[in-house]
């Protein structure tokens, strides 16, 4: 785990850039490395509510992505200097988390992506 923790810390220290080094880029690299080292890693997406209130007492709300490695949340999207200005990564409130790694593409020929057993067996869908 030491190699992975060191890698995560290096990613955390990298400056945030909305276009080239945002939460998607950083966490995709962490997940790739964790899987390479044999850990269970998932790419998670959510609606994030940050306690930082830039205007009129409304918090920042928007899409956010993070990693889950061996059942633990790993969120390193903002570097430590930016965390001091906006808010800490662990203070982000995550609404409607979804495991993006487990989503499957939808095919019109196969029907909607519904769980097995959703329809009765006699309905042959």
The whole-angstrom separation of Cα 93 and Cα 63 is 11
* pLDDT at site 90: 85
pLDDT of residue 88: 86
Render each residue's pLDDT in the chain as its tens digit; 125 residues. Answer: 689 999 999 999 999 888 888 899 999 999 999 999 999 999 999 999 988 777 777 888 899 999 999 999 999 988 888 888 888 888 889 999 989 888 766 665 666 665 656 555 654 54
Integer Cα distance of 117 and 16 in angstroms: 44
Strand ranges, E, within 3-119: 41-55, 58-69, 72-74, 93-99
Cα separation of 84 and 16, whole Å? 13
Residue boundaries of the structural domains of the chain: 2-102
Which residues are paired to 72 by β-bridges?
69
């Amino acid at each position: 785990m030491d190699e992975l923790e060191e890698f995560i810390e290096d990613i955390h220290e990298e400056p945030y850039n909305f276009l080239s080094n945002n939460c998607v880029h950083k966490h995709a690299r962490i997940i790739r490395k964790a899987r390479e080292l044999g850990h269970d890693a998932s790419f998670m997406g959510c609606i994030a509510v940050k306690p930082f209130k830039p205007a009129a007492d409304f918090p920042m709300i928007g899409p956010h992505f993070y990693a889950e490695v061996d059942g633990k949340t790993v969120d390193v999207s903002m570097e430590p200097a930016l965390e001091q200005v906006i808010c800490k990564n662990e203070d982000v409130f995550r609404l409607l988390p979804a495991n993006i790694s487990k989503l499957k593409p939808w095919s019109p020929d196969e029907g909607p992506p519904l769980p097995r057993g959703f329809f009765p067996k006699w309905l042959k869908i």
